[in-house]
Amino acid sequence: MAGLAPIAVALDAPDLETAARWAGLVTPHVSTLKIGLELYLRYGPEVVASVRGASAVHVFLDLKLHDIPATVAAAARAVARLRPAMLTVHAAAGAAAIQAAAQAAPGARIVAVTVLTSLGEADLDRIGLAGPASAAVRRLAVLAVEAGATGLVCSPQEVADVRSEVGEDIMLITPGVRPAGADVNDQARVATPEEALRAGADLLVIGRPITGAADPGAAAAAIAASLRRAEYLRG
């Protein structure tokens, strides 16, 4: 969307009214609204209509599906009627599950989550995923794209390497994005918005630095302005 910041605001709200209010405040400035698992489980399909409102904003349904292929397909088919622009599946669910999601929801961009940004090297060792994180992300990224994913979620620190593996046609989405000086909260692999875009990210997931601000709309506008100043956003 021309002129809007390539930001997906994570609407991790305590209730539907708050999520809708945040959405109304930030949609003049950002391209995408991200609905996570907690909010969707609490309110179901109603939450999509509530945050979308009358705007043309993209809805990113971040459900991180992770199950056998038949179940992933059924779940993707169930939410496809909500017309999400993007739907996430865990790459670790395997190629068949990713392919099943892509076939069941052809109108949505299937986005494969590689390695959660909350995980560090020690965490990977404990769960038995061969590291380092950058290598694990690249392996999962290639697997997912070969299976039909057209988007990937990876930390800002792996964007450049993933881009070299999958090419320019795959959307790279980066959580773990924090403006300079912001609290990193539960994220382990982070970068500023400018750093993430410079590395090659297409869409930045930002939650608490915007929604936790006294004025979420002003916070979103400030980040969008900083990206314009850095010449990553025009129009």
Residues with active-site annotation: 64
Residue 65's φ and ψ, nearest 5 degrees, are -60, 135
What residues have CB less than 8 Å from 210, skipping those under 6 apart? 7, 9, 22, 26, 216, 219, 220, 223
Query: Is 151 in contact with 111 (CB distance < 8 Å)?
Result: yes
Token pair 């450049």 is at which residue? 160
What residues have CB less than 8 Å from 175, skipping those under 6 apart? 10, 117, 153, 155, 187, 205
